Chain A
Amino acid sequence: MTAPAATGAPRLGGRGRSVRYRLNAWLPVLATCVILVLMLGAGQAVFGDFVSPRLLSSLFDNNPFLIVLAVGMTFVILTGGIDLSVGSVIAFSGLLGAQLFAAGWPAAAVLPLMVLSGTLIGAVVGVMVAFFDIQPFIASLAGMFLARGLAYVTSLKALPIHNDALNWLLGTSWGVGDWTTTPGVLLSLLLVAIAFWVFHYTRFGRTVYAVGGNEQSARLMGLAVTRTVFLVYLISGTCAGIAGVLFASYTQSGNPLAGLGMELQAIAAVVIGGTILTGGSGYVIGSLFGVLVYGLIQISITYMSVDSWWTYIVIGVMLLLFVVFQRAIAARRRR
């Protein structure tokens, strides 16, 4: 192992350069941040006392389940897949919880089971995608119908839940002055932090990016592609189960119609957060910002006291803008 002397070789990878190259990758996330700030600024200009601790707190308080869904969805989308089953899992998990609580089960058993119901659906989708090579769209569509069906099997109508532990999650308010938060919100932020760590400081996370970049290359490089793909759906399902718990706590009920279309909201949040649908590029922090942008649009629509369906139109326009923006960045990189 004698390396030939290499005097005069250029210094590879100076600090300044590394920072620049990394910054480039963070551009879409920064853009989302800028848009968030601009929206807050515009709101402040139009409504006067718009930006307040209460508003900023409610951005998080209104959507902890969406944050959790977006975290799971980020894993899946980064591998180049998609998980359409998560919205239905919220309904199934909520109703399962409602029935078990009604039967007198303790929260210590019910809450883990609610989460596990999501893990189970995620495992089914994951097996289909990873081991049987079924398109993620189709596999998770099947998962979506399966979970929605299971929800109806569990109960045909909405069931109220009266449980202190469940209510504690989003019913408790902690705070200083007007800054408030709930245990559920903190849980969702903790999941974001854990996901960030997994993505950037574990081999599994790095493999997720490699698979999204080019699945075949990743396989040929000897990476555990099949296992990784299975695990991302398992994670997404588990996150959906957790989101189901949070949603049940939010509505204090289980409902077979809960979470209808919420998988698409999660996907929208992830895309607005700068993650590319074909996989391999994006950050979980971006997805968090994506949810905040979503929440801010909802609140702004309420402030303007126009009908709530305008939220969808604004989100649609936002999505379009972001996809165009990402195209522009991709084109610039290629040059």
Chain B
Amino acid sequence: MAESSELRPLIELVDVKKGFGPVSVLKGVALKAYPGKVTALVGDNGAGKSTLIKGLAGVQPYDEGQIIFDGEPVTLHTPRDASALGIEVVYQDLALADNLDIVQNMFLGREETELLTFDEGRMEREASETLRSLSVRTVKSVRQKVSSLSGGQRQTVAIARSVLKKARLVILDEPTAALGVAQTEQVLNLVRRLAEQGVAVIIISHNLADVFEVADYISVLYLGQMVAEVETAKTTRDDVVGYITGAKTQARGAAA
């Protein structure tokens, strides 16, 4: 624990607020994510998880509050801003371009060029290597169209894309929601391996079994407020369920 409290968060949200007209969705939320650690963001429907993530992705900027990335205050107004900082969001079903193949998707926007052409051979090799380094074995060919992949394979490719981009913060939005048991296991392994490579990972999930399996920290949103930020090792499922449903609140001292 002493070690983890010394660790500097890669990204820190301070008192972020977001409202839509009269409805305030985020009422001053704080969030931290550490390099090499998996932080799970949980909360009931309508707690504000998606809104929080959209702000980090630059899709829907926050109204108020500070974003501190690697010790520096930053602004995130477009997905390109986020991308430039090394923040990658893997969305449930909008992560990839279906009509392109795996290599093209993994290198989209940052293709390797050689004189006046693309270095396709090199991209193909690097894509294969990345998939292999993540122990992905289910993909038949890296020249397959993404539209021909299964849900789990698509998540895999999307995660591999963020690895290849040398992302520093990867946010996974419900990565296992539509997957079967074996595929879920694969994706969770992948998430662990991502963290082992030093990436800060934020994972949104409704599935507490997944959360307890993969996360180092758990942050719980309840009606637009961060009600608990705990270490997975020091909490129980019942406690987390309590935080999510609002039946339980964390002692203020511990949250700070």
Residues of A that sit less than 8 Å from B by CB: 1-4, 6, 9-14, 17-18, 21-22, 25, 197, 200-201, 203, 206-207, 209-210, 212-214, 216-224, 280-281, 333
Contact A9 B135 (CB under 8 A): yes
A279 to chain B, nearest CB (A): 8
Please choose the segment from B40-48, B136-144, B224-232 that sits at the chain A interface, where 4 or more of its residues have CB less than 8 A away.
Answer: B136-144
B177 in contact (CB, < 8 A): no
Q: Does B251 contact A (CB under 8 A)?
A: no
Contact of A18 among B135, B137, B139, B143 (CB under 8 A): B143
Q: Are A3 and B141 neighbours in the complex by a CB distance under 8 Å?
A: no
Q: Is the CB of A222 within 8 A of B142?
A: no
A201: which B residues are within 8 A, CB to CB?
Answer: 113, 116-118
Q: Find chain A residues with CB under 8 A from B132 CB.
A: 3, 6, 9, 12
Nearest B residue to A21 by beta-carbon distance? Answer: B143
Within B107-148, the residues touching A (CB, 8 Å) are 108-111, 113, 116-118, 124, 127-129, 131-133, 135, 137, 139-145, 147-148
Q: Please, how many angstroms separate the alpha-carbon atoms of A159 and B139 in the complex?
A: 63
B73 proximal to A (CB < 8 A)? no
Contact B109 A22 (CB under 8 A): no
Whether B116 pairs with A197 at a CB distance below 8 angstroms is: yes
Residue B104 is within 8 A (CB to CB) of chain A in the complex: yes
Interface size on B, as a range, is: 35 or more
Q: Which of A2, A25, A201: most chain B CB closer than 10 A?
A: A201
- Contact across chains for B118 and A222 when beta carbons are under 8 A apart: no
User: B99: which of A2, A212, A221 is its contact (CB, 8 Å)?
Assistant: A212
Which chain A residue shows the least CB distance to B124?
A: A13
- Complex Cα–Cα for A223 and B147 (A): 20
Cβ of B83 within 8 Å of any chain A Cβ, yes or no, is yes
Query: Are B143 and A333 interface neighbours, CB within 8 A?
Result: no
| Given the contacts A210-B100, A213-B97, A18 and B145 also touching, CB distance less than 8 Å | no
Name the distance in Å between A243's Cβ and chain B's nearest Cβ: 26
A2 to chain B, nearest CB (A): 8
- CB <8 Å contact, A17 and B96: no
Would A13 and B104 count as touching, CB distance under 8 A? no
Contact A217 B97 (CB under 8 A): yes
Q: For A13, list chain B residues within 8 Å (CB).
A: 103, 124, 127-128, 141-143
- The segment from B8-16, B25-33, B87-95, B203-211 found at the interface with A is B87-95
Assess whether A221 is in contact with B141, with CB atoms less than 8 Å apart: no
Contact between chains at B116 and A222 (CB < 8 Å) = no
| 17 A–B contacts, CB within 8 A, in A order | A3-B133, A9-B135, A11-B128, A12-B127, A12-B141, A13-B124, A13-B127, A21-B143, A25-B145, A203-B109, A207-B109, A209-B104, A210-B100, A217-B96, A220-B95, A280-B98, A333-B148
Q: Does B193 contact A (CB under 8 A)?
A: yes
- Given A2-B196, A18-B124, 11 additional A-B pairs, CB 8 A: A1-B197, A3-B133, A11-B128, A201-B113, A201-B117, A213-B99, A216-B94, A217-B98, A218-B108, A222-B83, A223-B80
- Cβ–Cβ contact A4 & B193, under 8 A: yes
Closest to A14 in B: B141
Q: How many A-B residue pairs have CB under 8 A?
A: 119
B65 close to A (CB within 8 Å) = no
User: Contacts A203-B109, A209-B97, A333-B148: A220 and B89 contacting too (C-beta < 8 A)?
Assistant: yes
Q: Which of A3, A197, A216 has the most CB of B within 10 A?
A: A3
What is the interface of chain B, defined by CB distance below 8 A to chain A?
57, 59, 79-80, 82-84, 89, 91, 94-101, 103-104, 108-111, 113, 116-118, 124, 127-129, 131-133, 135, 137, 139-145, 147-148, 193, 196-198
List the A residue with the shortest CB-CB distance to B136: A9
Q: Please report the C-alpha to C-alpha distance between residue A214 and residue B128 in the assembled complex, in whole angstroms.
A: 24
Which 5 pairs across A and B sit closest by C-beta, in order of nearness?
Answer: A222-B83, A3-B133, A213-B99, A13-B142, A280-B99
A222 touching B117 by the CB < 8 A rule? no
Chain B residues with CB under 8 A of A1: 197-198
- Indicate if the CB atoms of A6 and B100 lie closer than 8 Å: no
**CB pair B80 A18 closer than 8 Å:** no
Known: A13-B124, A201-B118, A214-B98. A4 touches B143 (CB 8 A): no
Selected from B80, B98, B100, B198, the residue in CB contact (under 8 A) with A224 is B80
Pick the contact of A213 from B100, B111, B129, B131 — CB < 8 Å? B100
**Interchain CA distance A22-B104 in the complex, whole Å:** 12
Q: Is the CB of B133 within 8 A of A4?
A: yes
Smallest Cβ-Cβ distance to B111: which chain A residue: A203
Q: Flag if A9 contacts B137 (CB, 8 Å).
A: yes
Set of chain A residues within 8 Å of B148, measured between Cβ atoms: 333
CB neighbours of B113 from chain A (8 A): 201
From A18, A209, A214, B94 is in contact (CB under 8 Å) with: A214
B69, chain A: closest CB distance, angstroms:
15
Expressed in whole angstroms, the Cα–Cα distance for A301 and B80 within the complex equals: 53
A12-B128, A13-B143, A222-B79 are known contacts. Are A213 and B59 too (CB-CB below 8 A)?
Answer: no
Chain A residues within 8 Å of B89, by CB? 220
* C-alpha spacing A213/B104, complex, angstroms: 12
Shortest distance in angstroms between B86's beta carbon and chain A's nearest beta carbon? 11
Option from A3, A21, A216, A223 in Cβ contact (under 8 Å) with B144: A21
**Is the CB–CB distance between B135 and A222 below 8 Å?**
no
Residue of A nearest to B116 (CB): A201
> In whole angstroms, how far apart are the Cα atoms of A333 and B193 in the complex?
33
Q: Which residues of A contact B116 (CB under 8 A)?
A: 197, 201
